[in-house]
Amino acid sequence: MADIIIKNAYILTMDPDREDIENGVVVIEDGKIKEIGKSTESKADKEIDAGGNVVMPGLVNTHCHAGMTLFRGYADDMPLQDWLENHIWPAEAKVSDEDIYIGTQLACLEMIRSGTTAFADMYIHMDKVAQAVDESGIRAALSYGMIDFGDKEKADVELEEGSRFVREWNGKADGRITTMYGPHAPNTCSRDFLIRVKEQAVKDNVRIHIHVLETEAELNYMKEQFGVCSIHFLKDIDFWGDDVLAAHCIWLSDGDIKILAEHGVNISHNVTSNMKLASGIAPVAKLLAVGANVSLGTDGCASNNNLDMFEEMKTAALLQKVSIMDPTVLPARQVLEMATVNGAKALGIKSGMIKEEYNADLIIVDMNKPHLTPAYDIASHMVYAANGRDVKTTIVNGKILMENYEVRCLDEQSIIEKMKKTSKDLVSRINS
């Protein structure tokens, strides 16, 4: 007996070996996709009639700071360094475990509502982030964000905490939580510290999540300090590999692009955040052209200001087209791959496709909307016309987290009310 059967669906498989299926069936059992096709002989405890709707893999957000929902709209329209050093970092110093827990609950709620089934997170108070993820039912690759600024004593403390978190949470929540090491960036972490992080990650058999060349200021700093940019700096210490997730990667030369591709580095493109902070335009089309694995991320709500991956897909496609004046780059299907297949690969999870024995992480998109009518090309609609509010059902690990727009896994109104109170308390602490 299967757990769930979804029938009468347009199945956007995202499987390169399989075409989309009209009026298809998806059978889910024990958290996995067991069967896909035009019909099935299986029976299930739960049947969902998805007539007229699209079933597709859940979206994968490969760079996020979930607890930063606390700072949604807190310090807008500022340069990155001013924003970080004079507003965000001082505010984060006043944040409590409970603040991060509530902030992450809200982030999980927002992602479940808008069709994200897995995300990569790097932040602080990570035990509370993991607790919120566990309780929500979503999937996540979590890392404690480590900064040493060349301070040996601080480096020891940071790596100890990062290691503790990795060991304690990896594989928890029925395997939905995986852990990573999270050195913040090459310009905030020393050379020796980055070497130690890489060695420890290899030893623990987990991945690494790091910011790289988000700004021109980082590029200039690294060249002044070390005579090379971040890409070559990290290459020289054997940091790069297919176990690394590098967020942003904006200020790249053609040589840098080749290095990232040759080493199989996973890249998270955070287009909305990059635009808002005027950080620059990542050379996504060039990266994809040489075979690099480029995925999509929202970054935190302080620099986005939402976690809607549908919005991220559309913006990514449009910005690349206008930046190089070529309307053919990043076509809809390729952008969908970035948000599903490529994202799952970046996190090392068996999701991102509707395929037998893959994780049953999928969403149902409601096509009975004026802005989605008529529907000539489903992939195009998912990128250029749909938004997160069109997701009616979200399933992760074979569990229904939202059905017919009703969130089942979290107390939505309670979380919203708690955040309203928490944000007021936090501002009073910051200003005291």
Mean confidence (pLDDT) of the chain: 97
Q: Do both 86 and 168 map to the same domain?
A: yes
Q: Do both 143 and 187 map to the same domain?
A: yes
pLDDT at 432 over 80: no
Q: Do both 91 and 163 map to the same domain?
A: yes
Domain that holds residue 23: 2-57+360-407
pLDDT score at 395: 98
Quickly state the pLDDT bin for 89 (edges 50, 70, 90): confident
pLDDT at 102 over 90: yes
User: What pLDDT, in 10s, does the model give residues 30-51?
Assistant: 999 999 999 999 999 899 999 9
Q: Is residue 352 part of a domain?
A: no
Beta strands in 12-130 (DSSP E): 21-29, 32-37, 44-49, 54-57, 59-64, 116-123
pLDDT score at 265: 98
User: What pLDDT, in 10s, does the model give residues 373-383?
Assistant: 999 999 999 99
pLDDT at 142 over 80: yes
Q: Is residue 422 part of a domain?
A: no
pLDDT score at 203: 98
Quickly state the pLDDT bin for 151 (edges 50, 70, 90): very high
Report the percent of the chain where pLDDT is more than 90.
94
pLDDT score at 186: 98
Q: Do both 53 and 87 map to the same domain?
A: no
Q: Is residue 35 part of a domain?
A: yes
Q: Is residue 429 part of a domain?
A: no
The pTM of the whole model exceeds 0.75: yes
Q: Do both 342 and 374 map to the same domain?
A: no
pLDDT score at 78: 86
Exposed/middle/buried for residue 199 (C-beta within 10 Å: 0-12, 13-18, 19+): exposed
Q: How far apart are CA 236 and CA 230, in angstroms?
A: 10
pLDDT score at 141: 98
Let me know: does 1 contact 41? Beta carbons within 8 Å: no
Q: Do both 254 and 313 map to the same domain?
A: yes
pLDDT at 412 over 80: yes
Q: List residues forming the annotated binding site.
A: 63, 65, 92, 184, 211, 214, 299
Q: Do both 188 and 336 map to the same domain?
A: yes
Domain boundary among 347, 369, 392: 347
Q: What CATH number is given to the structural domain containing 275?
A: 3.20.20.140
Quickly state the pLDDT bin for 81 (edges 50, 70, 90): confident
Find the mean pLDDT for residues 231-242: 98
Q: Do both 45 and 68 map to the same domain?
A: no
What one-character DSSP code corresponds to residue 371?
G
Q: Is 19 helix (H, G, I), strand (E, B) or coil?
A: coil
Q: Which helix (H) or strand (E) is 403 found in, with range? A: strand 399-403
Prior bond of 86 cis (ω within 30°) = no
Q: Do both 84 and 156 map to the same domain?
A: yes
User: What pLDDT, in 10s, does the model give residues 6-30?
Assistant: 999 999 999 999 999 999 999 999 9
User: What pLDDT, in 10s, does the model give residues 304-332?
Assistant: 999 999 999 999 999 999 999 999 999 99
Q: Is residue 12 part of a domain?
A: yes
Sign of CA dihedral 250, 185, 297, 95: negative
Q: Do both 302 and 231 map to the same domain?
A: yes
User: What pLDDT, in 10s, does the model give residues 175-202?
Assistant: 999 999 999 999 999 999 999 999 999 9
pLDDT score at 82: 86
Q: What CATH number is given to the structural domain containing 375?
A: 2.30.40.10
Q: Is residue 285 part of a domain?
A: yes
Q: How far apart are CA 20 and CA 149, in angstroms?
A: 50
Q: Do both 338 and 192 map to the same domain?
A: yes
Q: List residues forming the annotated binding site for Zn(2+).
A: 63, 65, 211, 299
Q: Is residue 331 part of a domain?
A: yes
Q: Is residue 236 part of a domain?
A: yes
Q: List residues forming the annotated binding site for substrate.
A: 92, 184, 214, 299
Residues 6+ apart with CB under 8 A from 264: 241, 242, 293
Let me know: does 362 contact 54? Beta carbons within 8 Å: no
Q: Do both 116 and 234 map to the same domain?
A: yes
Question: How many structural domains is the chain composed of?
Answer: 2
Q: Which helix (H) or strand (E) is 422 found in, with range? A: helix 412-431
